[in-house]
Amino acid sequence: MTERNIRILGVPLDLGQRRRGVDMGPSALRAARLQSLLRGLGHKVEDAGDLPVVIPETQAEGDGRARFLNEIADVCGAVARRVATFREAGETPLVIGGDHSIAVGTVAGVSHEMRSRDEKLGVLWFDAHADMNTPETTPSGNVHGMALASLVGRGDAKLTSLLGARPIVDGPHVALIGARDLDETEKPNVRDSGIHVFTMRDIDQLGISTVVERAIKVISRGTAGLHVSLDMDFVDPAEAPGVGTPVPGGATYREAHLAMELVADSGLMRSLEIVEVNPILDSENRTGRLAVELAMSVFGQRIL
């Protein structure tokens, strides 16, 4: 296992969806001993604290097709700048949220730093949802359902062009794993984007190891490393009940761990974010503890 300098950044954002509680996700992971357990693996770990984020009760929603878009874009811009700084210092960003809209900032920051060295970034997106809506296709107006679309250049320019690049990542350099709940209106966006999609049916038929290995292989072509975006609703609600948008039929406990272990084996991970932990819906921080366990696996913990 390679020793890393890990920098944790909390982003308690819950403007991207309507169900309150994911703003407490960073606290849930810290309460589950995220920093000390990662240090126990031999890594150097520093916590940069939480970014300041406004709460929805103090803001106007704005356009109902992309609620709180301006506020979310401001937060994502701040995330991108901080993450780029971490990368420039030789650190591995570990961003903890918060809803999945923060991924636009995380990926923009990592991609920006890599572009300065003429390198491209691949993205592994573990999620029950595609997050490929735009303001024109969304049935809800929730920006967390537009995050991946924004990263591949589809949607409002406030998100699609963070730090001056559009697209932030190329569609063929993205793999979505675990999808099982897509809006009919976003399916054309998925098909036209060039991203690689591995649904839960693929996992059922092929096994999680084959799916993750294929995903890593395909997004490694032409890239110099990968970002892991882990929405905890990738895991079945029986194992992770405290998530923003639970969907039955997700990855099992061992499938989730094996997926993270395979990412670690690849040696290609450059950054990680964990999102959508909602302590209000959880039981005794069960989902927060699982999130930390999965972080341990992706940062090199092994059974033997």
Write a three-state SS string for the chain: CCCCEEEEEEECCCCCCCCCCHHHHHHHHHHCCHHHHHHHCCCEEEEEEECCCCCHHHCCCCCCCCCCHHHHHHHHHHHHHHHHHHHHCCCEEEEEECCHHHHHHHHHHHHHHHHCCCCCCEEEEECCCCCCCCCCCCCCCCHHHCHHHHHCCCCCHHHHCHHHCCCCCCHHHEEEEEECCCCCCCHHHHHHHCCEEEEHHHHHHHCHHHHHHHHHHHHCCCCCCEEEEEEHHHECCCCCCCECCCCCCCECHHHHHHHHHHHHHHCCEEEEEEECECHHHCCCCHHHHHHHHHHHHHCCCCCC
* 20 inside domain: yes
The answer, yes or no, to whether residue 1 has pLDDT greater than 70, is no
Q: How many domains does the chain have?
A: 1
Whether 144 is covered by a domain: the verdict is: yes
Q: What is the pLDDT of residue 12?
A: 98
Catalytic option among 233, 255, 273, 282: 233
The CATH number of the domain holding residue 219 is 3.40.800.10
- Look at residue 291 and tell me whether its pLDDT is greater than 70: yes
Q: Which of 112, 144, 196, 227 is catalytic?
A: 144
129 catalytic? Reply is yes
105 within domain boundaries: yes
Domain range for 220 is 5-298
| 170-195 tens-digit pLDDT | 999 999 999 999 999 999 999 999 99
Question: Active-site residue 144, yes or no?
Answer: yes
Q: What is the mean pLDDT of the chain?
A: 97
- Annotation marks residue 100 as catalytic: yes
173 is catalytic: no
For residue 304, tell me if it sits in a domain.
no
Q: pLDDT tens across 73-96, in order?
A: 999 999 999 999 999 999 999 999
**Is 303 among the domain residues?**
no
Catalytic residue flag (residue 261):
no
Residue 146 has pLDDT above 70, yes or no: yes
Q: Is residue 139 in some structural domain? A: yes
Asked whether residue 78 is domain-assigned, the answer is: yes
Could you confirm whether 57 is annotated as catalytic? no
Q: Which of 43, 112, 129, 227 is catalytic?
A: 129
For residue 156, being part of any structural domain is answered with yes
